[in-house]
Chains A and B, each alone.
Chain A
């Protein structure tokens, strides 16, 4: 934060004996006085600090995870017994649509964005992201999109066409409430967050690496985030087109998807899945990055085959563009297309398998420590493999024709999404909590959390394989005893098991939430390097200072931090590690050379102002009151001008006077604590 922009009332304690004159915040270029608060809600709402933004992303995403989880519980409650009465058919449709949409767009993507925001600059030795204000803007867009999407619950009903919103099923005659309109525009707004965030993170990773941090010295998490952001940059515009066409169709009477008017309903499917398949990698690659950080730390071995893990990530990123039509095998594409897409899909299993092998070999012969983070990471390896195997079964098109639209598919994608993304995120939570909040989550509660989630998820999603192969269709809101069959494969029994599993899973999540509260009430401050970590983000305090590093570290190795702590005197593959420095010593050595003056980007009103105009525009379109949209658009233009004329960092003259030359670590500058 702009160090100079303190309230004038705060006593000025200059680092030099001569008291520095109070510097007033710049108004020279900005339209208004800039925000100056460093505490209280304003410090969050107007912040451009990547760490605060990361925490806000994480908190909001966790909230949406709970919301979508409750929606899933309602679904499972409805299906627990025959002729369920918890949800009506109509509400059931809304429930699974919103469950999926919320999980994917409001939990998984933003949770990855939050972790990336917080950690990527730290992992590459940067002090912030390339475009701090755009970063803040992205967060507010995500939140605005999430609010618009969920407003529909209170304004006549939510979207009900399933998360891929096939057309013309989701056109006005079949889905007459405004739910789908809220859906299209809410996700459109959230899409802006993903696009701006992606550009920001790519530029940050490519352009702001610490000296010596070559691409092949980057931590794998950063690598996977880089791949993910490239996927977003090219996938988001495709779905943007689809959402626009959908809005034109529903709000302006175009007929892009009406077969009655001669339209091709497959147009929507193609646009959706050209986005949708890369999207599944967008969901899972960040978690792959997380386990690639966690497994080496708790095996005390470097990641096995780092270049293979990186390149297989990149390969997945490329291949992911050529397989979208495997979601459309049943739509009559023709045998040639089906064959091509089936083969491409099988090919993608190869780089994925490479990763699994690398993770396994990382643990092989390592000194394993079964912390909660490690348990979650190992959980991912196992559960994701199950999901990957059932995935390969649907790459075989004839078999997919049998499975499509059954619970077998639901089983598959929950093993990859829950077993992949979610378990990975949880590994990340336990691993990085001390970095972000300065306290380790309780390991005791963590174990409960882990085992309940693992048992719960297998009980919930495991039986769905059976249900699906027995023919239970997905999106089925009710079942009856007469039609559920008998014996071991009777649908009633397995539906009940699945529902019980869901509640066990929910208790597991409850343990996590309890753990957060418990840790923040009772937890002791974490040690500087609680896990004996390997990467750059640990060469700073917990939590890091506003400017991250007192001195930007110079990197000479992959796993730089580890190499500063240990010397490997083993020969060949035998690792014989000799400790040469403690984490405290490494940090002290860095701090001894702290930079005298650090100018951080200054907070700004404009990101939230500009983002807040988007829901206004959207609501105007949904209700056909275009004047509201026009007012919103004008406000947005005004906001952009305010933004454009405000320098990202208050000008030099505003910073504290003359550099201090006593050589001390004066990076806290005048905002002395």
Chain B
């Protein structure tokens, strides 16, 4: 007679790849054929898919970056020092995310909450910077429909901004749920999953920053 635990592991493991995750029924990591948990494998696949989403948006931007209206092109409008600082802030948030994950591994709840909150704050700073950047561009006359350059720029960076914002919501939700002990399943894994997502969004930003801001049009 096989033991109930294995069977449970087969099916009872919870379904969460996409919103930050809620583990199984608390039974820890169930044995799976590959040894990776369902959630983690699912998250990796989701991120693989996201690569192509950003790939499509980046290609569109690269195609249209030169098609700007006069003096509102990439070379005139970008404020490189400002964006460099906000990019640095976002990169730092990856560091704090690592600290949160490692605290979760040690079951150090206090530090998990601390570092997740710091990560969320750094992320929020980045998004705030983006909002500021967009408004100042808009004031200079660069609306969403001004030129092909502006449409593709806003579409690309906007999508990224939405991803960061979703990440912030997930981080704060995890903090809240940890505080009220409302996470079904493996807490450390949930933190790790959010971490994977967060690092991915950061890496995408590095690509965007390089292609959009650093390479001259």
Contact = CB atoms under 8 A, between A and B. Distances in A.
Contact of B18 (A126, A134, A262): A134
A207 B16 contact: no
Interface in B1-47: 1-2, 4, 7-8, 10-20, 22, 24-26, 32-34, 36, 38, 41-42, 45-46
Interface stretch (A250-258, A375-383, A620-628): A250-258
B72 interface: no
Interface in A113-134: 126-128, 130-134
Given A207-B34, A600-B11, A202 B184 contact: no
A547 B63 CA distance: 52
A668 interface: no
Contacts of A126: 10-11
A254 to B, nearest CB: 4
Contacts of B182: 29, 645
A599 B34 CA distance: 22
A233 interface: yes
Contacts of A589: none
Given A552-B2, A644-B177, A199 B42 contact: yes
Contacts of A648: 12-16, 22, 24-25, 184
B52 interface: yes
B208 interface: no
Contacts of A525: none
Nearest to A133: B15
Given A645-B177, A647-B25, A127 B151 contact: no
B56 A238 contact: yes
User: Which residue, B38, B48, B173, has most C-beta atoms of chain A within 10 A?
Assistant: B38
B15 A551 contact: no
A149 interface: no
B184 A29 contact: yes
Interface in A196-222: 196, 198-200, 202-203, 206-209, 213
Q: How large is the interface on B (under 10, 10 to 19, 20 to 34, 35 or more residues)?
A: 35 or more
Interface string A577-604: 0000000000000000101111111000
B45 A233 contact: yes
A348 B107 CA distance: 52
A242 interface: yes
A126 B8 CA distance: 11
A472 to B, nearest CB: 35
Interface in A209-253: 209, 213, 233-238, 240-242, 244-245, 248, 252-253
B89 interface: no
A507 B36 CA distance: 50
Interface in A431-455: none
Given A207-B34, A236-B49, A649-B12, A252 B173 contact: no
A195 interface: yes
Given A640-B19, A645-B22, A552 B145 contact: no
Contact of A234 (B11, B49, B177): B49
A202 B49 CA distance: 13
A206 B26 contact: no
A233 B56 CA distance: 14
A565 B55 CA distance: 51
B213 to A, nearest CB: 21
Given A647-B14, A648-B12, A262 B67 contact: yes
Given A248-B151, A256-B151, 10 more contacts: A200-B42, A203-B45, A207-B33, A208-B32, A237-B51, A263-B67, A267-B60, A644-B173, A651-B26, A663-B1
Nearest 8 Cβ contacts at the A-B interface: A131-B15, A648-B14, A241-B56, A647-B184, A237-B53, A649-B12, A207-B32, A237-B52
23 contacts: A130-B13, A130-B15, A132-B11, A195-B49, A207-B41, A209-B33, A237-B50, A237-B52, A237-B53, A254-B151, A256-B151, A261-B148, A263-B64, A267-B63, A600-B11, A637-B169, A640-B19, A644-B177, A646-B22, A647-B14, A648-B24, A649-B24, A652-B26
